[in-house]
Structure 1
Amino acid sequence: MRALLVVNPAATTTSARTRDVLIHALASEMKLDAVTTEYRGHGRDLARRAAEAGDVDLVVALGGDGTVNEVVNGLLHAGPDPDRLPRLAVVPGGSTNVFARALGLPNDAVEATGVILDALREERSRTVGLGLAAGTPGTEDEAVPARWFTFCAGLGFDAGVIGRVEQQRERGKRSTHALYLRQVVRQLLVDPHRRHGTITLERPGHDPVRELVLSIVCNTSPWTYLGNKPVYASPEASFDKGLDVLGLSRLSGPAVARYGTQLLTSSPERGPRGRHAVSLHDLIDFTLHSKVPLPFQMDGDHLGLRTSVTFTGVRRALGVIV
């Protein structure tokens, strides 16, 4: 078996020594080319070349969810074809590692590598569905290229929080749960649309859902983790189905307290609910429009402002080693 290992040297939870140990462990079982990423988007470029080469059987992403997203977009540059494309394996090295943990992998890089090696020996894999987001034709965002996401996307409030966190990390702050909570509070203080939303969700054959403040699109469940605690925005979301959406139409002080508490106490059986909450399950095609440009994120990566994004849930998009 020939494999490509894409290594993010800035992965927050692995040291250079740990990465060397993992590389040697993988190389003992396969013909391995290990490449360290050098710029944003390098993982995508490496995975794309591996997919186009036709002689790579496996691409391993060692890093956080951002690294995984780049690798997935490189593998699927020409579209999904799980029977032809290299399979994906993920060694978690980020602060949260939602995709890897949603697959059932340990949140420790060494333990996860052991699971992956066992899965390869036993020929264990699965095919997962993914989300695809693109600028909506006929709008000012139509030129925005399509991009795949593995576990979530968001337009509005939550994406604004992620943008604030990224700004703080660029200033040298560590990615901690306390940092996220502080940015949630700051976003609440400055968000002009938190009481009267500007987002409309449109889908074929249904009435529009209007005046949403935020819209969280989930491709799996949990939505995220606080340490070892899973948080469920859309408990029914699954890699085997379409996309789920949680929308909130108000984020006043009491609403924030209510829905924040519901998220913190959420479970696989129960997510946020209430008269300002909208939950939609197993969607294949829908569009989010906003009256004003709003922050947009995919897999925890802030992508700037958008006014209209079209989403597609694609089942059986990529083979993954588990």
Structure 2
Amino acid sequence: MRALLVVNPAATTTSARRRDVLIHALASEVKLEAVTTEYRGHARDLGRQAAESDDIDLVVALGGDGTVNEVVNGLLHAGPDPEHLPGLAVVPGGSTNVFARALGLPNDPVEATGALLDALRDGTERIVGLGLTSGPPGSEDEAVPARWFTFNAGLGFDAGVVGRVEQQRERGKKSTHALYVRQVVRQFLGEPNRRNGTITLERPGADPVEDLVVAIVSNTSPWTYLGNRPMYTSPKASFDTGIDVLGLSRLSTAAVARYGTQLLTSSPERGPHGKHAVSLHDLDQFTLHSKVPLPLQMDGDHLGLRTSVTFTGVRRALRVIV
């Protein structure tokens, strides 16, 4: 088996020495080519090259969720074909690693490498569903390129938090959970539409859901982690179903306190709920429209402002070694 290892040198929890050890371990099982990313989007380009190659069987992403997202978008640039495209393997190296942990991998990169080596020896794999975004036909966002996400996406409040975190990282701050918490507070204090949402959710065969402040789309569960604590916005979300969405129509101080507490105490059985919460499960497609441009994020990557986004759940999109 020939494998391409895509290495993010800026991965939060992986030192150069540890990367060398992991590369050596992987090279003992497969014919390995390791490439270090040099610019934003490089992992996507490498994934695309692997998809177009005739002799690469596996792409291993060593990095955080952003690296994984880029590799996946490269692999699937021409659409899903899990039986013929290279498989994906993940060695977590970021601060949160939601996708890897949702697959059941250890959060430690050394232990995850051991699990990957076992999977390669045993030939174990699964085919997972993913989420896909695009601009709805006839909208001003129609020309925005379609993009895959592996575990979550969001329009509105949570995407604004992601944007604030990225700004802080560009200023040299480390990506920590404390940094995220601070930016949540700042986003809340600066949120102009927290009492009167601008988002409408439309889906075939159902009445629209109006006046949402935020819409959080999940392709799996949990939604994210705070340290080692999983947080569930859509507990039923799964790689084996369509996509789920949690919409909140109020972010007053009292609502934030209530939903924040519910998130911290959420479980695989119950997520946020209440008068101003709407939960939808196993959707094939829906569109979010906003009266004003709002930030969009996918897999923790801020993608700018949008007024309309169509979300599609694509079952059996990607083959994963796990």
Query: What interval of TM-score do these two structures reach, taking the shorter chain for normalisation?
Result: over 0.9
> Once the two structures are superposed, what CA deviation does each residue of 1:144-187 show, in whole Å capped at 9, x if it has no partner?
00000000000000000110011011111111111111111111
CA distance in 2, matches of 1:105, 1:178: 24
What is residue 197 of structure 2 aligned with on the other side?
Answer: 197
What is residue 245 of structure 1 aligned with on the other side?
Answer: 245
What is residue 27 of structure 2 aligned with on the other side?
Answer: 27
Q: Does 1:54 align with 2:54?
A: yes
CA distance in 2, matches of 1:40, 1:25: 27
Q: Which amino acid aligns with 1:90?
A: V
> Once the two structures are superposed, what CA deviation does each residue of 1:269-306 show, in whole Å capped at 9, x if it has no partner?
01000010000000001000000000000000000000
What is residue 82 of structure 2 aligned with on the other side?
Answer: 82
What is residue 16 of structure 1 aligned with on the other side?
Answer: 16
What is residue 290 of structure 1 aligned with on the other side?
Answer: 290
CA distance in 2, matches of 1:120, 1:294: 43
User: Which aligned pairs between 1:217-228 and structure 2 lie closer than 5 A?
Assistant: 217-228=217-228
Query: What SS does the aligned partner of 1:24 have?
Result: helix
What is residue 299 of structure 2 aligned with on the other side?
Answer: 299
What is residue 266 of structure 1 aligned with on the other side?
Answer: 266
CA distance in 1, matches of 2:28, 2:123: 17
Aligned residues: 322
What is residue 101 of structure 1 aligned with on the other side?
Answer: 101
Q: Which amino acid aligns with 1:278?
A: V
Unaligned runs of 5+ in 1: none
Q: Does 1:162 align with 2:166?
A: no
Query: What SS does the aligned partner of 1:106 have?
Result: coil
CA distance in 1, matches of 2:70, 2:169: 19
User: Which aligned pairs between 1:55-74 and structure 2 lie closer than 5 A?
Assistant: 55-74=55-74
Question: Quick one: percent identity of the two aligned structures?
Answer: 84
Query: What SS does the aligned partner of 1:111 have?
Result: helix
What is residue 314 of structure 2 aligned with on the other side?
Answer: 314
> Once the two structures are superposed, what CA deviation does each residue of 1:197-240 show, in whole Å capped at 9, x if it has no partner?
00000000000000000000000000000111100000000000
Shift of 1:136: 1.5
Give the root-mean-square deviation of aligned CA atoms. Answer: 0.5
Shift of 1:4: 0.2
Query: What SS does the aligned partner of 1:116 have?
Result: helix
CA distance in 2, matches of 1:23, 1:156: 39
The normalised TM-score by structure 2 is 0.99
Shift of 1:10: 0.3
CA distance in 1, matches of 2:179, 2:48: 34
CA distance in 2, matches of 1:216, 1:269: 18
Shift of 1:72: 0.2
CA distance in 2, matches of 1:286, 1:139: 14
Q: Which amino acid aligns with 1:194?
A: R
CA distance in 2, matches of 1:174, 1:314: 34
What is residue 187 of structure 2 aligned with on the other side?
Answer: 187
Q: Which amino acid aligns with 2:48?
A: R
Shift of 1:54: 2.0
Q: Which amino acid aligns with 1:221?
A: S
